Amino acid sequence: MKTYRACSLGCLVGVWLVIWPVVGAAWLDNRERPDTAEVVDKVHRQVATEVVVLGRQLDSLFGHDEFPADDAGSLLRLGGTVLVGEGDEDFQSLARFRLAVPRTEQRWNIFLESETEDLFDGRRHDGRGETGRGRPREQGAVAGLQFLHDFAEVWNFDVDLGVRVRWPLDPYTRVRVRRSFPLATWELRLGQSLFWYERTGSGTSSEMRWQREVGTGRLLRSLSEITWLDREQQFYYKQDLLVSQRLQADRGVVYQVGVRGESEPNHQVDHYFVNARLRRNVWRQWLFVELQPELMFARENDFAVERRVFVTLEAVFGDLRALD
């Protein structure tokens, strides 16, 4: 409990340190001459918009939810991934369906997706339960209803109600609030979510994301996340650094370095990894091939290097404008 309180206090201090430069800059802007302030604001908005647009374009190309494009429409993604490693092979099908109810300020999505993240990113710590590193303990699907509301241009709120489709069924709910802060050439996004799963209980997750454009068509991103599971009385830590680049209109690459950790039996690193994702639109606008070589260093293997490669073929149906 002391650790939890100390972490909460640290999070509050960290949030204040992030917000204070914005408040201070706004106060200084009010002291400037109106003409100067207007010019600065115009340039600031233009840079911030370019960063957000570039991020959404890259997210749409790679089709993942780490940095979701909130304005994406109805989509169906189908495919499969083959894992080839040192003395190890695996295959997992991919499926993700989202039906977007006609656009309003308050939006509803109906979704159905397979659980595939464990194959790519080691353990999952968002309340769905632990699996072995890189090996799905059991495959299944998630179905539910999502409500989204934009309070303002920089505030996002969403609620998920759903069930993990396996036996026994595992109903869950999640509430998430996110806030974006444009800071000079950077965009900062803070997020807080509360969740409950029948199988693993309640928990909370705090995340901080930084991103900025570095060169033409290239984006630098940092993702920090802490998740608390109340039933386990344990924290899980996640830190990723990514560089994404759209090489051409039909292809892109993401370089990623990541580390995962946990607080019990003591604060320690579980594993870290380095990978590169090369994705290309190979036919029309809806068929994609992705190649992901990766080096994994896990505590259970005394951090000895494990080499593996993922090959994915994916077809996309629906609102293809979301991929533009």
Length of the chain: 324
Question: What percent of the chain lies above the pLDDT cut of 70?
Answer: 66
Phi and psi dihedrals of 11, rounded to 5?
A: -65, -40
Supply the pLDDT for residue 189: 93
- Residues ≥6 apart with Cβ < 8 Å to 243: 214, 218, 219, 220, 221, 254, 255
Query: Are 82 and 310 within 8 A, CB to CB?
Result: yes
Supply the pLDDT for residue 234: 94
Q: Which of 322, 317, 308, 315 lies closest to 119 in space, CA to CA?
A: 308
Structural tokens at position 174: 């999640």
Say whether 110 sits in a helix, a strand or coil: strand
Average pLDDT over every residue of 13-36: 49
Half-sphere exposure of 243 (CA within 13 A, CB side): 10
Average pLDDT over every residue of 170-188: 92
Say whether 241 sits in a helix, a strand or coil: strand
Kindly tell me if the per-residue pLDDT of 80 is higher than 80: yes
Supply the pLDDT for residue 9: 44
Type and span of the H or E element at 5: helix 2-31
- Cα dihedral 164, 76, 56, 114 sign: positive
Cα separation, 104 vs 110, whole angstroms: 15
The full DSSP string for 157-213 is EEEEEEEEESSS-EEEEEEEEEEEEEETTEEEEEEEEEEEETTTEEEEEEEEEEEEE
Kindly tell me if the per-residue pLDDT of 222 is higher than 60: yes
Kindly tell me if the per-residue pLDDT of 294 is higher than 90: yes
pLDDT, tens digit (0-9, with 9 covering 90-100), for 190-221: 999 999 999 999 999 999 999 999 988 899 99
Residue 153 DSSP one-character state:
T
Structural domains in the chain plus CATH codes: 32-94+115-123+177-323 (2.40.160)
Beta bridge partners of 272: 259, 297
First to last CA, the chain: 47
- Residues ≥6 apart with Cβ < 8 Å to 25: none
pLDDT grade for 249, boundaries at 50, 70 and 90? confident
Residue type (1 letter), 34: P
Q: Helix 34-62 crosses helix 2-31 at what angle (to 10 degrees)?
A: 130
